[in-house]
Structure 1
Amino acid sequence: MSESNGLNPSRRAFLRGGALLMAFTLMPVARRALADTEVDTLGTVVLAPDLPGSLRTNPFLDAWIRIGADGITVYTGKVELGTGVKTALLQIAAERLQVPASAINLLTADTALTPNEGYTAGSHSIFDSGTALYNAAAQVREMLVDAAARSWQIDSSLLSTRDGVIEGPAGQRLTYADAVKHVDVHQYAEAQSPAMAAADFKLIGHNLPRLDIPAKVSGGAAFVQDMRLPGMLHARVIRPPRPGCTLQAFDAASVEALNGVVKVIRDGNYLAVLARDEWQAIKAMRSGIESAKWSGGEAIPEAAQIHDLLKRLPSRRYPISNTGNSSGAADTRFKARVTKQYLMHGSIGPSCAVAWFNDGILTVWTHTQGVYPLRAGIAEMLRLPPERVRCIHTEGSGCYGHNGADDAAADAALIAMRVPGTPVRVQWMREQENLWEPYSSAMVTEVDAGLSQGRLQDWTYELWTTPHNERIVNAGRLLPARLLARPFASAPSVPIAQPEGDGDRNAVPLYDLGSTRINMNFVTQMPFRTSAMRSLGAHINIFAIEASIDELAIKAGIDPVALRLAHLSDPRARAVVERVRDSIGWPHKSSEPGAGIGFAFARYKNIMGYCAIAVKLRVHPQTGEIRVDHVVTAVDVGQIVSPDGLRNQVEGGIVQSASWTLFEKVAYDAGGIRSYDWSGYPILRFTQLPKKVDVHLLDQPGEPFLGAAEIVQGPMAAALGNAVANATGQRWLNLPLTRSTQPA
């Protein structure tokens, strides 16, 4: 490239041509082509390992930022799940482009438009996509300023930008839209971006009104469940009574004869009905359920036997941490078995999707957490080229993990292909959501920890779990694809590697330990379908670790918080612990019967946000009912983008973890799942919310963004467990923390 065409020759312009130009695509790369290719933890191909954030997987700047006469468009492959991430990403891009947030049109997760960032999961949105936008926006702005400087033949350091206009010292003005005509944005990002002092931030670190809230509080069309397209038909699916059943008989003619029914679909063990309106579809579904005769089905264990069963089932053993030499002796030891039940997402709105096969293109509107992996799975299921499938993320009323969203999208895709040219809306029923969504795995852990002369010595930890990551990597991971006459088999289960972790997430304590022997037993013969829910195994692992720290401290006569601080060498870890300690007034003793206080700490995945938390509660001496009076937490997620958004996430995590830890478990027996509606699946009620919550945000201006959405689930569970032990004098080690789940 030459100076004459107005481009910056110092950029790596030679990367425009040949294979590298083809390497960036809005299509997923075939998995068989990745055998020798680095893939990140969210399943996307790493093209530029030296670049920050998601620029590693999408290195071209115009994948993120496009500027034209119609304005500024910013793209992200991450999705809004009610966490406020869309607003935070907008703040980051606007800050670095130095334009008002209102000047940007932000587009999220559309396989026809946005970069492939895999899944919105694991608190990676700001960590990865925010980091990418922070750098891409800064580099694009610099390119625009350089173009203006060349045009005016002055040094670029003399120029400034404001509201999308470049200004020179002599009153020169050039809009971004005009400057971009002299810039080629289709080039690799640089590893280093122009610096910006945190003190100069006008948007990052400040609160911006949430983009996703107005429609939700005004009754507007906020979710995919609200979508209505002209001429749209309504569909309902008819599921088997349990996995593994075979359809023996079905009276399709009687269902088709019902008023409003357009089509009855049967493909192997897959059944669905299509009708003119939703109520007609529901009535047809109910009639079909009565008509269908099934045989067989997979055995379901008794709930009381599940943790013993997990230890007996075939498994693969993964060493997680093997450090130091065991001392073989300790002044104080703590040995325990800690268990967790199956949990369901319990999304407030059952899963839904809209699909339309028109002019040879299948478009699916879905509340999936990964539009690209879903597109690949649907394309394989339908035997279509991926370029003929477009997935567009549309918010759903309830998510935070691998719930039924992908399966509902596959339902809509299958049915829409039977009625070309007509949009189809599939809405699951509550019992379908509860019975067929992937659960969070039941787990059992065994800990044996030692303390010698005030130092943590030998730490042995063994855990058994089914997968926490059955995301869509092939068609067989989609529920409808397993039911077809030509069924697809699920891809083999593979755990997420450390330090991210799967069931072993946060199984390695952040504390300084003399030695560790930590192993995960990965059970692949699953009695239930399990997959991702917020924090994965961190929920129980942090609970078990922090219970052990408390018990060792109590046995040794050491203050539990002091013991933690004595084994934390990371100053940011110490800072959150000390802030909570001082804020709660630790140590605190109450003379009220049944009152207790508990403390816990963790750094999410040991690489992301820090969280310390203290809980004051009361346990009713007769009923065992637990009431949470006061929660104090301190968090450090690096540079804070939106203080209000972060506070929302922390408070939401406290409530969610309290519900899991105190109430939630899937009820089942050999006869089947019993938690088919809200009466069979207890959750935290409004009257049981913590009476008071104090959140301390420890900002780190200029530091990298760290994930926030899932940092509190594990520490909150652990603090509750430690507070119950403090209140009752008994250590409850089975989740949820009810008397009925503890040994007699």
Structure 2
Amino acid sequence: MTAPLVIDRRTVLRGTGALVLGFALRPVGAAEAAEPAGEGGGATGPRDLPGSLKTTPLVDSWIRVAADGNVEVLTGKAELGQGIATALVQLAAEELDLPLARVTIRTADTATTADEGYTAGSHSMQDSGSAIRAAAAEVRGLLVGEAATRWAVPAEALRVEGGAVLAPDGRRFGFGDLVSATLLHVEATPHPALKPPGRYAVVGQAVPRRDIPAKVTGGAIYVQDLRPAGMVHARVIRPPAPGARLQSLDDAAVRATPGVVAVVRDGDFLAVAAETEWGAVEAMRRLAAAARWSTPAASLPTDRPAGRAIRALPARDTVILDRGAPPAGDGLRRFASDFTRPYQAHGSIGPSCAVAHLDGDTLTVWTHTQGVFPDRAAIAEMLGFPPARVRCIHTQGSGCYGHNGADDAAGDAALVARALPGRPVRLQLMREQEAAWEPFGPAMLTRAEAALDADGRIADWSYGVWSNTHNMRPGGAGALLAARLLAKPFAPPEPKPIPQPEGGGDRNAIPLYALPNARVTHHFVPDMPLRVSAMRALGAYANVFSIESFMDELARASAQDPIAFRLRHLDDPRARDVVARARDEAAWTGRPRVPGRGRGFAFARYKNLAAYCAVAVEVEVDRDTGRLRLARAVAAVDGGQVVNPDGLRNQIEGAILQSMSWTLYEEVGFDAAGVTSVDWATYPILRFDAVPDTVEVHLVDRPGQPFLGCGECGQGPTAAAIANAVADATGARLRDLPLTRERVLAALAV
């Protein structure tokens, strides 16, 4: 087990690194997204390979050795700020016994890396990490085998160290001496000889992240920072409301403005390009004033909160758990509660941006999309290009986990670049454009019902969740906003639920607890009053908030300690370990109570198949103003084998703070005509003065165990722990997110 990190003021200038740019001469990769990692069965074949090797089995799709012996790692996953670029380098360096400085990495690029679909669902380590570790071990074996052949000695007599294969008599071959054009161009085998955890030198160490230095020193690392030679700046003009149509446009004065390069119109899509950024902004404003739009009929429901309104919409019901049978009612105490989540925005600090360049027959798009291959497919379809003519290169964006405006900006930039062949186009969305038009996290309603027996155990459980889809990411052109606005528009894709076991709106709707009689129903609502798509943790945030709040209600109703109550209903030993670790580190039973503060606890295993996370918090409640403040958070996490403990702690800290912001502040506002929360005044988020005094993250490391996705495991438990702490401090139970001052005061007044 590793020591906790306690945050008071983070030292941000940690680590060294460089931005490495590379270009491959030939494309590699599979034609479809990788499946989740898992154990294969039956005869040896692709499905026996770990992670994304299943769909891209060639070893040199993942690891390449240069003539100088240095190694390049390739991954189809994107570095989104979660630190995977560093962790994946650690895995390769470990298996190859190479110094970290001799390993570089190239991330998601449709011309050079494997197609690993989306970087989403906390799948990066189990998909790409498992593949890269196995491929690196395979490379080690191939290099050793080549040396053994040349020396005519048994491979077992050789060892690898410092980028060379060494013989017992002192002879050595550097990696670059052994590699050839074909040596690594072979399919991986199912069970390469992985290095045992007891010999790890790099894995498990807090290696400084490679992307941090440029981010804290103003380096050019974000797509917003790109400035290729000859670049023009572009801006779009969005319709004033959903459904509005562009009736007329007098753009002569804008076209004649010095510095304006082009006005681009296709149906209701409207954009302008200029030599300077400010020139583009001014032209955008003048063009918007010159446009005349139709006024669509009001279509958004405003008669009730979004979380309540969704229940009135048509739904398709699927029973995803049906265990046992409802017991007879004699002697049982029954309870029921409804919980809601509003529409919530990604709220990226930096509005989305993309750079596109039509050079000859090839369109290259630099984008912070979370899926370069699906984005390429959507852009190619929108433009009528063969996919081979479009290259998408992931470049980090300044903040987002989920489907925000990144793909829209890429589509917008592609349309403008098509109109300006030969010139790179940098298209930057304005904050109010992204805030009003991005795909939001869906509103949700849940209903939990349970019965307690005379011994205080749950004898019956029933749970329902009403939700829109949680995935409208690109793949087809209709997922791009611009494609829907064209003169020949593309229809949005049909909303579909994400199937279990991972789920979408029903993610984590099945509790991990041992319940003898339980039923869970997913009420899938295809009709979407607002545009929605993936937001970090998908439905798990609202479902864990609901289930863990309700577990707290049941514990208090039966006069049981909330943690002891959970442990009574947990059979999974790793779950019990995490709950006990958080309980002990938080000093749940011995910590003195502070007036005005409440304590809360919550637990979940993300998707019931990824990381385990338990969170204990202390919340201050100002009864006069209704203000809530998260003062202290203590988390325990079991994510399987830990590659970079500092990187993992960063992820959990981020999950706690993000969830705190969602839970206390964030709610999309709209009226009958459209979205009204278009800036930080109308869509408040967590500010620095509200950050907790301390956040502790304790890791339960399990060397040799599979990687478990961790990035989204903390959002749901944090939300429930906060609500449970408010109930502990005030006796009032808040079930509607966010827990605003107004809702706190209303609950206290009852």
**Structure-2-length-normalised TM-score:** 0.92
Q: Tell me what 1:195 maps to.
A: 194
C-alpha contact (below 8 Å) 2:34/2:54 kept by paired residues: no
Aligned with 1:110: secondary structure?
A: coil
C-alpha contact (below 8 Å) 1:234/1:425 kept by paired residues: yes
- Cα RMSD after superposing both structures: 1.8
C-alpha contact (below 8 Å) 2:505/2:540 kept by paired residues: yes
Give CA deviations for 1:67-100 in whole Å, capped at 9, x if unaligned: 2315322100011111111101111111111111
Counterpart-to-counterpart distance in 2, 1:157 and 1:296:
76
Aligned with 1:249: secondary structure?
A: strand
Pair 1:597 & 2:592 matched: no
Q: Tell me what 1:50 maps to.
A: 48
Shift of 1:183: 5.7
C-alpha contact (below 8 Å) 1:303/1:669 kept by paired residues: no
Instruction: List aligned pairs for 1:489-638, cutoff 5 A.
Output: 489-587=491-589, 592-638=594-640
Aligned with 1:245: secondary structure?
A: coil
Counterpart-to-counterpart distance in 1, 2:30 and 2:255:
39
C-alpha contact (below 8 Å) 2:35/2:52 kept by paired residues: no
Counterpart-to-counterpart distance in 1, 2:269 and 2:181:
56
| More moved, 260-269 vs 47-56 | 47-56
Shift of 1:218: 1.1
C-alpha contact (below 8 Å) 2:442/2:533 kept by paired residues: yes
Shift of 1:738: 2.0
Q: Tell me what 2:711 maps to.
A: 709
C-alpha contact (below 8 Å) 2:641/2:702 kept by paired residues: yes
Q: Tell me what 1:12 maps to.
A: none
Give CA deviations for 1:359-416 in whole Å, capped at 9, x if unaligned: 2100000001000000000000001010000000000001111000000000011110
Q: Tell me what 1:69 maps to.
A: 67
Q: Tell me what 2:726 maps to.
A: 724
Instruction: List aligned pairs for 1:263-662, cutoff 5 A.
Output: 263-297=262-296, 299-302=299-302, 304-329=304-329, 331-452=332-453, 453-587=455-589, 592-662=594-664
Shift of 1:529: 0.6
Flag the 1:244–1:40 CA change in 2: closer, same or farther, 3 A. Answer: farther
Shift of 1:257: 1.8
Shift of 1:588: 6.0
Aligned with 1:49: secondary structure?
A: helix
Q: Tell me what 1:32 maps to.
A: none
Q: Tell me what 1:118 maps to.
A: 117
Aligned with 1:40: secondary structure?
A: coil
Shift of 1:592: 4.6
Give the number of aligned pairs: 710
Give CA deviations for 1:37-62 in whole Å, capped at 9, x if unaligned: x97369xxx99222111111211111
Counterpart-to-counterpart distance in 2, 1:296 and 1:311:
28
C-alpha contact (below 8 Å) 1:27/1:372 kept by paired residues: no
Instruction: List aligned pairs for 1:161-200, cutoff 5 A.
Output: 161-181=160-180, 184-200=183-199
Counterpart-to-counterpart distance in 2, 1:314 and 1:206:
51
C-alpha contact (below 8 Å) 1:147/1:182 kept by paired residues: no
Counterpart-to-counterpart distance in 2, 1:74 and 1:25:
13
Q: Tell me what 1:151 maps to.
A: 150
Counterpart-to-counterpart distance in 2, 1:615 and 1:191:
44
Counterpart-to-counterpart distance in 1, 2:210 and 2:449:
48
Counterpart-to-counterpart distance in 2, 1:39 and 1:312:
37
Q: Tell me what 2:4 maps to.
A: none
Counterpart-to-counterpart distance in 1, 2:661 and 2:592:
25
State the percentage of identical aligned residues: 53
The letter for the 2-side match of 1:240 is P
Pair 1:40 & 2:39 matched: no
Shift of 1:334: 2.1
Counterpart-to-counterpart distance in 2, 1:588 and 1:411:
57
Counterpart-to-counterpart distance in 1, 2:728 and 2:264:
58
Flag the 1:182–1:309 CA change in 2: closer, same or farther, 3 A. Answer: closer
Shift of 1:323: 1.3
Give CA deviations for 1:4-39 in whole Å, capped at 9, x if unaligned: xxxxxxxxxxxxxxxxxxxx954745xxxxxxxx97
Counterpart-to-counterpart distance in 2, 1:410 and 1:386:
14
The letter for the 2-side match of 1:302 is T
Counterpart-to-counterpart distance in 1, 2:291 and 2:436:
18
Counterpart-to-counterpart distance in 1, 2:169 and 2:29:
43
Counterpart-to-counterpart distance in 1, 2:80 and 2:719:
23
The letter for the 1-side match of 2:334 is R
Shift of 1:542: 0.5
Aligned with 1:679: secondary structure?
A: coil
Give CA deviations for 1:432-463 in whole Å, capped at 9, x if unaligned: 11011110001011110122223222111111
Aligned with 1:676: secondary structure?
A: coil
Counterpart-to-counterpart distance in 2, 1:649 and 1:74:
22
Give CA deviations for 1:548-604 in whole Å, capped at 9, x if unaligned: 111111111221111111111111111111111112222368665432100110011
Counterpart-to-counterpart distance in 2, 1:121 and 1:91:
21
Q: Tell me what 2:218 maps to.
A: 219
C-alpha contact (below 8 Å) 1:598/1:721 kept by paired residues: yes
The letter for the 1-side match of 2:634 is V
C-alpha contact (below 8 Å) 1:27/1:387 kept by paired residues: no
Flag the 1:589–1:201 CA change in 2: closer, same or farther, 3 A. Answer: closer
Counterpart-to-counterpart distance in 1, 2:303 and 2:715:
24
Aligned with 2:60: secondary structure?
A: helix
Counterpart-to-counterpart distance in 2, 1:274 and 1:542:
46
The letter for the 2-side match of 1:411 is D
Shift of 1:740: 2.9
Structure 1 runs, 4 residues or longer, greater than 6 Å off: none
